[in-house]
A and B are shown apart, each in its own frame.
Chain A
């Protein structure tokens, strides 16, 4: 009796917790609200199965508890029942899978007009690079990384000259403009994760990975690293700010191009030479 009741109460308690606990996802800030929908669908289907099976177990435990004089039913198989259950499960599983695959197809298909931004991860922090006026990100190589060229841009690549280098952990993106994050790391695995955006992808040294999204509401969001990357993993935070056009332009205007950065560091070198000569 107590056992059956406990299983019953655990089931009821789980449902109650689901509906009345304060812990639920953050308000979505990208076009990936349909990921939330697939989760909800999964919740309804699996939740129903969970409740049905738990109640069934509780009922059996209550109804068929041991009595010395009674014998259990002797029925090793029931082909019909087994095949019915198999088909019902297969249908339920297909109902979960199909919408999931549709959304995944959208997730891995980047719209052509997406604005490319490089997210640059290192132990333990974030930097960003924008394509500049030509709309193209210049090529990079890890061998080029030094104090004057912290992003390791290949100096000979003309596409890189006008790239805007954001040497800070804060990125601004424009509301309602699709953006493709080109994810790059110079050391270990990282993962560019903003809970409100829902999207995620590991960054792998040696290759450029990506995902895309369209920010749908203005706000200031925290960036977290979602792939374990060593002792400082938990402190690897950044910010993404979704702006309306005016604010975005203001921020963009403050960023410097690669060319200017090189010129500046050359000037610094010259100054230092002059100082030394004196």
Chain B
């Protein structure tokens, strides 16, 4: 401890000495470091290098691969459900298995795939590199975070093997049904689900503290907050949201576990369950919904904000143009993050809560549309008069704009309380949230993987396979979810194992179900192409040059590519500008890396950042 303080003092006195000795303003000056260089843990064996790794880059890859593996299970579950919906005559599934698959699909995709991949995966990989740090602030805790995630996934998977199977309570886990006899997995599966979520939250908190502190404390010299890439802004803000939102989920899970195991009545009123009067009394099911959605709505943005950030960077790099309105973009991210804590009950307009809340939450929800719209405008204005390269990351970013726009606009239907009444609990909702927080972020993930793959492996992914993958995924998922909204207009309720020949539903609606299912099977199968490309390219891919996309941000400026342990060799980088100086008039190249000193680009008319 005292050593550290000494270092600090030394660093400070250096700074003072420097400042006084420099008499003429040096155009390459950057503020001195306030903290001494980080001391890193160096691994000594295969186990500590590749398995119990403390290097954020490896942890990021571990997180990503685990999340993708779990996501594949979610994908297979969606196939099983869709086959049942399209061909109910097959007798393919029992209703109870259908509901179990619906539940596991939802929870896996939202929490164990998207949250883990964006924050655990991209967060770990990119935060130290893009901020110009050697590693996360607390590498050991970072390692624990990943292994807690692994245990959470294992507990979740274990629920498939307990008597009664996994919970079939729907991913929202609403009590009382989640823990009473009418729902599959009501006494075994649900407990494992709750424990798994608790573990996930614990693990995520360890990672999250790391992300926040690293961004705040370990940025390179000259990397002011307003020079950070939007990717980092997105991941950072999402992590802050998660720190506030996950505790609500945590207590909800704990309270429901107690209700189920110890017979408390937090969420359980007096009730009859399949003819039997239960001993619970006085609890409130709506309380759980408030806790769940106080987590659940920010969760949407926990997934969306990193996607917003990443796609901004992809669009800027691949259209060789400054991101339009950077400052607005930053404030929009922060604003959306703050507002996202005041809109949760728009998931509960028809939940039976006091209906007068509807006025407040409809208003806040529609207000959040404004910063979101600004982001969309700024993305498309970035394309305007750009020099657009139709590389794979750009294709996926364009796909994102279309799907996100579509899904965001249908949010204006559901957020507006009156319009929500006929549409809630129908397939319109299913279509909306898959478009906006399923397909849109996943397209960004694909774009990001194609973009940063050379940084991780030193090789490029195959372009032809990537293009096939893009077209099938983008067009296919649009074909799945766009028509699905119209099933919602007809009034087809969600979470129906079978709709039968309801008198109000045209038979053609059932035909549409078949079409959607076929599209689902094709799009799902196309992901195998991606997986092949992902693994095969690590060996067979074309060798990548350094900084293959000619990007400005720091992760591409490491002395070696892929970066080695400690990222920066002997000396940490110094930052002179923001990462968006593309196509600057008067500059020789059409990009100026963040760490290129002003003395090397004399004549370039850069705006001060």
B-contacting residues of A (Cβ < 8 Å)? 3, 6-7, 10, 14, 17, 21-26, 32, 35-36, 38-39, 42, 45-46, 49-50, 53-54, 56-57, 60-61, 64-67, 70-78, 81-82, 85-86, 89-90, 93-94, 96-97, 99-101, 103-105, 107-108, 122-124, 142-143, 145, 183, 186-189, 191, 193, 195-196, 198-207, 209, 220-222, 224-234, 237
Q: B182–A226 contact, CB under 8 A?
A: no
Return the contact of A76 from the options B324, B406, B503 (Cβ within 8 A): B324
A-B contact pairs, 10 of them (CB 8 A): A25-B491, A50-B406, A71-B585, A75-B322, A85-B377, A89-B374, A93-B370, A189-B285, A195-B422, A237-B502
Nearest B-chain residue to A201, judged by Cβ: B350
Given A73-B384, A93-B366, 16 more contacts at CB 8 Å?
Answer: A17-B486, A38-B419, A39-B419, A42-B416, A64-B386, A65-B388, A72-B321, A73-B583, A82-B377, A85-B373, A101-B417, A187-B272, A200-B422, A202-B350, A206-B282, A234-B495
Question: Does B257 sit at the interface, judged by CB under 8 A?
Answer: no
Q: B359–A17 contact, CB under 8 A?
A: no
A-contacting residues of B (Cβ < 8 Å)? 95-96, 99, 168-170, 174, 176-177, 180, 182-184, 269-274, 277, 282-286, 319-328, 350-352, 355-356, 358-359, 362-363, 366-367, 369-370, 373-374, 376-378, 380-381, 383-390, 395, 398, 401-402, 405-406, 409-410, 412-413, 416-419, 421-426, 475, 478, 482-483, 486-487, 489-491, 493, 495-499, 502-504, 506, 508-509, 512, 580, 582-585, 590, 605, 607
Q: B274–A123 contact, CB under 8 A?
A: yes
**How far, in whole Å, are A32 and B390 apart by their CA atoms in the complex?**
48
Known: A24-B486, A72-B583. A206 touches B284 (CB 8 A): yes
Return the contact of B270 from the options A50, A143, A198 (Cβ within 8 A): A143
Residues from chain A with Cβ under 8 Å of B174 in the complex: 188-189, 228
**How far, in whole Å, are A56 and B174 apart by their CA atoms in the complex?**
43
Tell me how far the C-beta of B474 lies from the nearest C-beta in chain A, rounded to whole angstroms: 8
Q: B387–A66 contact, CB under 8 A?
A: yes
Nearest A-chain residue to B374, judged by Cβ: A86
Q: B489–A231 contact, CB under 8 A?
A: no
Q: A229–B409 contact, CB under 8 A?
A: no
Return the contact of A198 from the options B351, B367, B390, B422 (Cβ within 8 A): B422
Q: B370–A90 contact, CB under 8 A?
A: yes
**How far, in whole Å, are A129 and B177 apart by their CA atoms in the complex?**
24
Return the contact of B352 from the options A207, A221, A228 (Cβ within 8 A): A207
**How far, in whole Å, are A55 and B385 apart by their CA atoms in the complex?**
15
Q: B319–A35 contact, CB under 8 A?
A: no
Query: Total A-B residue pairs with C-beta atoms closer than 8 Å?
Result: 326
Q: A74–B489 contact, CB under 8 A?
A: no
**How far, in whole Å, are A253 and B370 apart by their CA atoms in the complex?**
56
Residues from chain B with Cβ under 8 Å of A46 in the complex: 409-410, 412-413
Residues from chain A with Cβ under 8 Å of B169 in the complex: 228
Residues from chain B with Cβ under 8 Å of A94 in the complex: 366
Q: B270–A23 contact, CB under 8 A?
A: no
Q: B380–A204 contact, CB under 8 A?
A: no
Q: Which 9 A-B pairs have the closest CB atoms?
A: A230-B182, A206-B269, A195-B491, A73-B385, A188-B177, A23-B486, A72-B321, A60-B383, A46-B409
Nearest A-chain residue to B182, judged by Cβ: A230
Q: A77–B487 contact, CB under 8 A?
A: no
Q: B421–A230 contact, CB under 8 A?
A: no
**How far, in whole Å, are A100 and B590 apart by their CA atoms in the complex?**
49
Residues from chain B with Cβ under 8 Å of A108 in the complex: 355-356, 358
Tell me how far the C-beta of B472 lies from the nearest C-beta in chain A, rounded to whole angstroms: 13
Residues from chain A with Cβ under 8 Å of B184 in the complex: 231
Nearest B-chain residue to A122, judged by Cβ: B272
Known: A82-B328, A200-B350. A231 touches B168 (CB 8 A): yes
Nearest B-chain residue to A229, judged by Cβ: B177
**How far, in whole Å, are A45 and B99 apart by their CA atoms in the complex?**
36
**How far, in whole Å, are A94 and B377 apart by their CA atoms in the complex?**
19
Q: A7–B398 contact, CB under 8 A?
A: yes
Q: B387–A67 contact, CB under 8 A?
A: yes
Q: B489–A234 contact, CB under 8 A?
A: no
Tell me how far the C-beta of B84 lies from the nearest C-beta in chain A, rounded to whole angstroms: 11
**How far, in whole Å, are A99 and B412 apart by their CA atoms in the complex?**
13
Q: A10–B402 contact, CB under 8 A?
A: yes
Q: A24–B418 contact, CB under 8 A?
A: no
Known: A202-B351, A222-B502. A77 touches B325 (CB 8 A): yes
Residues from chain B with Cβ under 8 Å of A73 in the complex: 321, 384-386, 583
**How far, in whole Å, are A120 and B426 apart by their CA atoms in the complex?**
22
Known: A61-B383, A72-B590. A7 touches B370 (CB 8 A): no
**How far, in whole Å, are A227 and B358 apart by their CA atoms in the complex?**
19
**How far, in whole Å, are A66 and B387 apart by their CA atoms in the complex?**
5
**How far, in whole Å, are A84 and B174 apart by their CA atoms in the complex?**
43
Task: Please indicate which of the listed interface residues B352, B356, B363, B495 has the most CB atoms of chain A within 10 Å of its own CB.
Answer: B352
**How far, in whole Å, are A143 and B281 apart by their CA atoms in the complex?**
11
Task: Please indicate which of the listed interface residues A96, A186, A206, A234 has the most CB atoms of chain B within 10 Å of its own CB.
Answer: A206
Residues from chain B with Cβ under 8 Å of A104 in the complex: 355, 358-359, 362, 417-418
Nearest B-chain residue to A108, judged by Cβ: B355
Q: B388–A66 contact, CB under 8 A?
A: yes
Residues from chain B with Cβ under 8 Å of A107 in the complex: 355, 418, 421
Residues from chain A with Cβ under 8 Å of B356 in the complex: 108
Q: B409–A24 contact, CB under 8 A?
A: no
Residues from chain A with Cβ under 8 Å of B426 in the complex: 226
Nearest B-chain residue to A41, judged by Cβ: B419
Q: A17–B95 contact, CB under 8 A?
A: no
Residues from chain A with Cβ under 8 Å of B363 in the complex: 97, 101
Q: B422–A230 contact, CB under 8 A?
A: no
Nearest A-chain residue to B482, judged by Cβ: A14
Tell me how far the C-beta of B272 lies from the nearest C-beta in chain A, rounded to whole angstroms: 5
**How far, in whole Å, are A198 and B488 apart by their CA atoms in the complex?**
12
Nearest B-chain residue to A81, judged by Cβ: B381
Q: A227–B425 contact, CB under 8 A?
A: yes
Tell me how far the C-beta of A249 lies from the nearest C-beta in chain B, rounded to whole angstroms: 25
Tell me how far the C-beta of A182 lies from the nearest C-beta in chain B, rounded to whole angstroms: 12
Q: B389–A21 contact, CB under 8 A?
A: no
Q: A76–B322 contact, CB under 8 A?
A: yes
**How far, in whole Å, are A189 and B271 apart by their CA atoms in the complex?**
11
Known: A189-B177, A205-B285. A24 touches B425 (CB 8 A): no
Tell me how far the C-beta of B92 lies from the nearest C-beta in chain A, rounded to whole angstroms: 15
Residues from chain B with Cβ under 8 Å of A10 in the complex: 402, 475, 478
Nearest B-chain residue to A146, judged by Cβ: B277
Q: B369–A93 contact, CB under 8 A?
A: yes
**How far, in whole Å, are A237 and B423 apart by their CA atoms in the complex?**
19
**How far, in whole Å, are A209 and B490 apart by their CA atoms in the complex?**
25
**How far, in whole Å, are A6 and B388 apart by their CA atoms in the complex?**
16
Residues from chain B with Cβ under 8 Å of A187 in the complex: 176-177, 180, 182, 271-274
Residues from chain A with Cβ under 8 Å of B402 in the complex: 7, 10, 54, 57
**How far, in whole Å, are A32 and B418 apart by their CA atoms in the complex?**
10
Tell me how far the C-beta of A18 lies from the nearest C-beta in chain B, rounded to whole angstroms: 8
Residues from chain B with Cβ under 8 Å of A199 in the complex: 421-422
Q: B422–A231 contact, CB under 8 A?
A: no
**How far, in whole Å, are A71 and B180 apart by their CA atoms in the complex?**
64
Residues from chain B with Cβ under 8 Å of A193 in the complex: 425, 491, 493
Residues from chain A with Cβ under 8 Å of B502 in the complex: 222, 224, 237
Q: B370–A89 contact, CB under 8 A?
A: yes
**How far, in whole Å, are A89 and B533 apart by their CA atoms in the complex?**
41
Q: B395–A60 contact, CB under 8 A?
A: no
Residues from chain B with Cβ under 8 Å of A65 in the complex: 388, 390
